[in-house]
Structure 1
Amino acid sequence: MKHYIKFELKNTLGYSLAMIVGGLLPMILAIGNYHATSNTLANQALAKGLFATLLPMIPLGLVILPFTISFGRDMADGVTTRFVLFGYRMAKQLVAKFVSVAILVSLVTVVYCLVLYQVLPLPSMSMLSLANVFASTMILTAALYLLSFAIAQVFKGFNMIQGVAMVCYFGIAFLTGSMGTFQLPRTLEKAIEWIPFAAIRETLKMHWGSNTVTDMQTEWFKLIVFLLITLFLFGLAEFYRRLKIHAV
């Protein structure tokens, strides 16, 4: 399993463009959109807003793009099937892939925090909020991982999978307000609220120094609901995969 996790890490790191989008772009956007004023409190508020807004872009970029694309390529090339023949069943592959993705997201999140604390005038964050940053990022990573698997299983061909992954990335980024705000129909806004980017953003900004778990209940509720939704989609995709196997 250890060797397979190493293989998956190298596989994911091989997509340099996706690594730039998921690893560097959030930091660049946070730093580039910061403009200092003479008001210290306003500067801190802006810095917190940028930090919180672009934080969910890390798992979005590192999971939806490189993982979905690499998994789609492996399926198209028959790599996934060959692994099964050599004893790496699909369940083992999924575990190894998730561990590699979780390691990558965790490392990039650490770098993101360290760099922005050096560059932006961020106030001290409470230990509870810091723990919430990493915990919510990991739950979001798990949910997006399940969504990525569903995309790779349902759509045919590497180019199609890559295109759908790009649409999902930019669609989620724009609709959740991570790359600007737009006036959307009320019904669509209500549906998008269950993608917990806004919940993470608002909770972190409002409770930056909080030491109370109850301040984060809404965020965690939406994270769990989103995870359950993607788990349902994962189940449908797995059912579809098994139907295809039995149909052959």
Structure 2
Amino acid sequence: MWAYIRFELKNTLGYPIAMIVGGVLPLVLVLSNYHATGHAALDQATAKGVFVTLLPMVPLGLVILPFTISFARDMTSGITNRLALFGYTLTRQLLAKFIAVLLLVLSMTTLYWVVLSQMLPLPKLSLLALVMIYLSMICLAGGLYLLAFAIAQVFEGFNMIQGIAMMCYFGIAFTTGSMGVSQVPAGVTQLSRWIPFKIFRETLRAQWQGQQLAGFQDELLQMGVFILITFALYGLAKRYRHLKKRPV
């Protein structure tokens, strides 16, 4: 299985936008949005704000764009079907791809935390806060992975899938406030509440304020609901593709 995971890591890393959007961009956005004032308390509050706001951009960038587009490229070129003929079934491919993507997400999350904790006046993260961050990244990566797979299954053609993936990436980023947009239509706000970026940020802020378990249970519940919704979309997409392939 490890050979498959290494193959999928190379496959994902072969799409440069993965590291740019999922790794470099969140760091650049944090540093460009942080401006020191010389006031210790205000600077720390600003640092915490930009840190928690842009941290969910790591799984969003690493999953929605590189995975969706690389998987679409493989399907369009017939690589997915050819690999299945040699025993690398679609189920194994999906598992290996998810593990590869998850390793990237956890690695970039660690880099994000280590670099910014040295460059910004951030308070130290407790062990519980670190557990919460990594568990949240795993949940977000899982839900976004299912969503990405649904996109790649429903739409056809590399350009079409790439365009839909871009729309989803920027749509989620803007509606959840990750790109600095604070005011969006009420209907869009209601929709964005199903994406657990906001509750993750609020829970991490509470951790920094010493409220050790405040909101953690609510966050896990919302993460679970998010995964269930994306799993339902995954199931519908898989069923749609099966029906479409079935001869009339």
Q: TM-score, normalised by structure 2?
A: 0.96
Q: How far apart, CA to CA, are the structure 2 residues paired with 1:236 and 1:215?
A: 32
Figure out how many residues of one structure are paired with residues of the other and give that number. 248
Is 1:89 matched with 2:83?
no
Alignment-derived partner of residue 116 in structure 1? 116
Q: How far apart, CA to CA, are the structure 2 residues paired with 1:165 and 1:50?
A: 25
Report the 3-state secondary structure (helix = DSSP H, G, I; strand = E; otherwise coil) of the residue aligned with 1:173: helix
Report the 3-state secondary structure (helix = DSSP H, G, I; strand = E; otherwise coil) of the residue aligned with 2:60: helix
Alignment-derived partner of residue 31 in structure 1? 31
Q: How far apart, CA to CA, are the structure 1 residues paired with 2:5 and 2:210?
A: 36
1:210-225 aligned at under 5 Å gives the runs 210=210, 212-225=212-225
Paired amino acid for 2:104: L
Runs of at least 4 residues off by over 6 Å:
none
Q: Which structure 1 segments of 5+ residues have no match?
A: none
Is 1:50 matched with 2:46?
no
Alignment-derived partner of residue 234 in structure 1? 234
Is 1:161 matched with 2:165?
no
Alignment RMSD (CA, Å): 1.4
Q: How far apart, CA to CA, are the structure 2 residues paired with 1:101 and 1:31?
A: 25
Report the 3-state secondary structure (helix = DSSP H, G, I; strand = E; otherwise coil) of the residue aligned with 2:132: helix
Report the 3-state secondary structure (helix = DSSP H, G, I; strand = E; otherwise coil) of the residue aligned with 2:124: coil
Deviations 1:198-234 (A, max 9, x none): 1111211232254633431222221111111100000
Task: Report if aligned partners of 1:129, 1:209 keep a CA contact under 8 Å in 2.
Answer: no
Q: How far apart, CA to CA, are the structure 2 residues paired with 1:189 and 1:75?
A: 34
Report the 3-state secondary structure (helix = DSSP H, G, I; strand = E; otherwise coil) of the residue aligned with 1:15: coil
Q: How far apart, CA to CA, are the structure 1 residues paired with 2:211 and 2:95?
A: 33
Task: Report if aligned partners of 1:53, 1:178 keep a CA contact under 8 Å in 2.
Answer: yes
Give, in angstroms, the shift of residue 237 of structure 1.
Answer: 0.9
Paired amino acid for 2:142: A
Alignment-derived partner of residue 68 in structure 1? 68
Alignment-derived partner of residue 204 in structure 1? 204
Q: How far apart, CA to CA, are the structure 2 residues paired with 1:225 and 1:233?
A: 12
Q: How far apart, CA to CA, are the structure 2 residues paired with 1:59 and 1:155?
A: 22
Give, in angstroms, the shift of residue 41 of structure 1.
Answer: 1.2
Q: How far apart, CA to CA, are the structure 2 residues paired with 1:43 and 1:206?
A: 18
